[in-house]
Structure 1
Amino acid sequence: MALFSPGAGGLGLGDVKLAGVLAALLGWWDWRAAAIGLAAGFVLGGIAAAILLITRRADRHSHIAFGPAMVAGAYLTCVVFAAGSS
Protein backbone atom coordinates (compact mmCIF):
# COMPACT_ATOMS: atom_id res chain seq x y z
CA MET A 1 0.00 0.00 0.00
CA ALA A 2 2.88 2.36 0.65
CA LEU A 3 3.99 1.94 -2.96
CA PHE A 4 0.60 3.06 -4.28
CA SER A 5 0.56 6.20 -2.12
CA PRO A 6 1.74 9.12 -4.23
CA GLY A 7 4.15 11.59 -2.64
CA ALA A 8 5.10 12.00 0.99
CA GLY A 9 1.63 13.19 2.01
CA GLY A 10 -0.22 9.95 1.25
CA LEU A 11 -0.65 6.97 3.53
CA GLY A 12 1.33 6.92 6.72
CA LEU A 13 3.20 3.84 7.84
CA GLY A 14 0.66 3.34 10.62
CA ASP A 15 -2.05 2.94 8.00
CA VAL A 16 0.12 0.47 6.11
CA LYS A 17 0.70 -1.60 9.27
CA LEU A 18 -3.01 -1.47 10.11
CA ALA A 19 -3.86 -2.68 6.60
CA GLY A 20 -1.63 -5.71 7.09
CA VAL A 21 -3.28 -6.59 10.38
CA LEU A 22 -6.78 -6.14 8.96
CA ALA A 23 -5.92 -8.20 5.87
CA ALA A 24 -4.66 -11.00 8.13
CA LEU A 25 -7.89 -10.85 10.15
CA LEU A 26 -10.09 -10.86 7.06
CA GLY A 27 -7.96 -13.50 5.38
CA TRP A 28 -9.12 -15.87 8.10
CA TRP A 29 -12.40 -16.23 6.18
CA ASP A 30 -11.16 -15.99 2.61
CA TRP A 31 -8.78 -14.04 0.40
CA ARG A 32 -11.84 -12.34 -1.12
CA ALA A 33 -12.82 -11.08 2.32
CA ALA A 34 -9.43 -9.44 2.67
CA ALA A 35 -9.73 -7.77 -0.73
CA ILE A 36 -13.31 -6.65 -0.12
CA GLY A 37 -12.52 -5.38 3.38
CA LEU A 38 -9.58 -3.29 2.27
CA ALA A 39 -11.54 -1.94 -0.71
CA ALA A 40 -14.43 -1.10 1.61
CA GLY A 41 -12.03 0.91 3.76
CA PHE A 42 -10.98 2.94 0.73
CA VAL A 43 -14.61 3.51 -0.27
CA LEU A 44 -15.65 4.58 3.23
CA GLY A 45 -12.59 6.83 3.50
CA GLY A 46 -13.45 8.44 0.17
CA ILE A 47 -17.04 9.01 1.22
CA ALA A 48 -15.92 10.56 4.51
CA ALA A 49 -13.43 12.80 2.71
CA ALA A 50 -16.06 13.86 0.16
CA ILE A 51 -18.48 14.76 2.93
CA LEU A 52 -15.82 16.80 4.71
CA LEU A 53 -14.95 18.61 1.47
CA ILE A 54 -18.58 19.31 0.57
CA THR A 55 -19.38 20.69 4.03
CA ARG A 56 -16.15 22.75 3.88
CA ARG A 57 -14.82 21.28 7.12
CA ALA A 58 -11.68 20.32 5.22
CA ASP A 59 -9.86 21.47 2.11
CA ARG A 60 -7.47 19.76 -0.32
CA HIS A 61 -4.53 20.24 2.04
CA SER A 62 -6.19 18.92 5.21
CA HIS A 63 -5.02 15.72 6.84
CA ILE A 64 -7.88 13.24 7.18
CA ALA A 65 -7.53 10.13 9.33
CA PHE A 66 -7.80 6.95 7.27
CA GLY A 67 -7.53 4.37 10.06
CA PRO A 68 -11.15 4.65 11.25
CA ALA A 69 -12.44 4.08 7.71
CA MET A 70 -10.21 1.03 7.33
CA VAL A 71 -11.43 -0.43 10.62
CA ALA A 72 -15.07 0.28 9.69
CA GLY A 73 -14.64 -1.42 6.31
CA ALA A 74 -13.03 -4.44 7.94
CA TYR A 75 -15.76 -4.59 10.58
CA LEU A 76 -18.55 -4.47 8.00
CA THR A 77 -16.83 -7.18 5.98
CA CYS A 78 -16.48 -9.35 9.11
CA VAL A 79 -20.18 -8.96 9.84
CA VAL A 80 -21.17 -9.86 6.28
CA PHE A 81 -18.86 -12.88 6.03
CA ALA A 82 -19.80 -14.11 9.54
CA ALA A 83 -23.51 -13.86 8.70
CA GLY A 84 -22.95 -15.71 5.43
CA SER A 85 -21.08 -18.57 7.06
CA SER A 86 -23.78 -19.46 9.59
Structure 2
Amino acid sequence: FNNTERPIIDLDSGFKDNTNILKEMDFNNNQQVYLNDQSEQITEQTNQMEKKQKKLTLKEKKKQEEIEQIKQGNQAESEESLKLPNK
Protein backbone atom coordinates (compact mmCIF):
# COMPACT_ATOMS: atom_id res chain seq x y z
CA PHE A 1 0.00 0.00 0.00
CA ASN A 2 1.05 3.50 -0.71
CA ASN A 3 0.79 5.97 2.20
CA THR A 4 -1.18 8.43 0.07
CA GLU A 5 -3.94 5.88 -0.57
CA ARG A 6 -4.57 5.09 3.09
CA PRO A 7 -6.58 7.69 5.07
CA ILE A 8 -4.63 9.11 7.98
CA ILE A 9 -6.47 8.86 11.29
CA ASP A 10 -5.41 11.70 13.56
CA LEU A 11 -6.36 10.72 17.08
CA ASP A 12 -4.81 13.90 18.48
CA SER A 13 -7.18 16.20 16.58
CA GLY A 14 -10.26 14.61 18.19
CA PHE A 15 -8.61 14.89 21.59
CA LYS A 16 -7.76 18.54 20.92
CA ASP A 17 -11.36 19.24 19.86
CA ASN A 18 -12.68 17.66 23.06
CA THR A 19 -10.13 19.57 25.14
CA ASN A 20 -11.19 22.84 23.49
CA ILE A 21 -14.85 22.02 24.09
CA LEU A 22 -14.14 21.25 27.74
CA LYS A 23 -12.15 24.48 28.09
CA GLU A 24 -15.03 26.41 26.54
CA MET A 25 -17.55 24.72 28.85
CA ASP A 26 -15.34 25.52 31.83
CA PHE A 27 -15.05 29.14 30.70
CA ASN A 28 -18.84 29.34 30.25
CA ASN A 29 -19.39 27.84 33.70
CA ASN A 30 -16.99 30.37 35.21
CA GLN A 31 -18.79 33.17 33.39
CA GLN A 32 -22.12 31.90 34.74
CA VAL A 33 -20.74 31.77 38.29
CA TYR A 34 -19.38 35.31 37.87
CA LEU A 35 -22.70 36.59 36.51
CA ASN A 36 -24.60 34.88 39.32
CA ASP A 37 -22.29 36.55 41.86
CA GLN A 38 -22.80 39.92 40.15
CA SER A 39 -26.56 39.38 40.18
CA GLU A 40 -26.51 38.54 43.90
CA GLN A 41 -24.44 41.65 44.63
CA ILE A 42 -26.82 43.84 42.65
CA THR A 43 -29.80 42.30 44.46
CA GLU A 44 -28.13 42.94 47.83
CA GLN A 45 -27.31 46.54 46.86
CA THR A 46 -30.88 47.06 45.68
CA ASN A 47 -32.22 45.71 48.98
CA GLN A 48 -29.92 48.04 50.93
CA MET A 49 -30.99 51.01 48.83
CA GLU A 50 -34.66 50.14 49.37
CA LYS A 51 -34.09 49.98 53.15
CA LYS A 52 -32.35 53.39 53.06
CA GLN A 53 -35.20 54.79 50.97
CA LYS A 54 -37.76 53.53 53.51
CA LYS A 55 -35.78 55.15 56.35
CA LEU A 56 -35.57 58.41 54.43
CA THR A 57 -39.29 58.26 53.67
CA LEU A 58 -40.05 57.73 57.37
CA LYS A 59 -37.75 60.63 58.34
CA GLU A 60 -39.43 62.85 55.76
CA LYS A 61 -42.86 61.83 57.04
CA LYS A 62 -41.83 62.65 60.62
CA LYS A 63 -40.50 66.06 59.51
CA GLN A 64 -43.76 66.80 57.71
CA GLU A 65 -45.73 65.81 60.81
CA GLU A 66 -43.53 68.06 62.99
CA ILE A 67 -43.99 70.94 60.55
CA GLU A 68 -47.74 70.36 60.60
CA GLN A 69 -47.77 70.39 64.43
CA ILE A 70 -45.75 73.62 64.49
CA LYS A 71 -48.13 75.18 61.95
CA GLN A 72 -51.14 74.16 64.04
CA GLY A 73 -49.42 75.48 67.18
CA ASN A 74 -48.65 78.79 65.46
CA GLN A 75 -52.20 79.02 64.16
CA ALA A 76 -53.61 78.36 67.63
CA GLU A 77 -51.29 81.04 69.10
CA SER A 78 -52.38 83.50 66.39
CA GLU A 79 -56.03 82.83 67.09
CA GLU A 80 -55.43 83.29 70.82
CA SER A 81 -53.64 86.58 70.23
CA LEU A 82 -56.53 87.81 68.13
CA LYS A 83 -58.91 87.12 71.02
CA LEU A 84 -56.85 89.27 73.39
CA PRO A 85 -58.26 92.77 73.73
CA ASN A 86 -56.10 95.47 72.25
CA LYS A 87 -54.90 98.02 74.76
> Given the two structures, how large is their TM-score scaled by the length of structure 2?
0.31
| Greater relative CO, 1 or 2 (CA 8 Å, sep 6+) | 1
Considering fraction of residues, name the structure with more helix.
2
> Given the two structures, how large is their TM-score scaled by the length of structure 1?
0.32
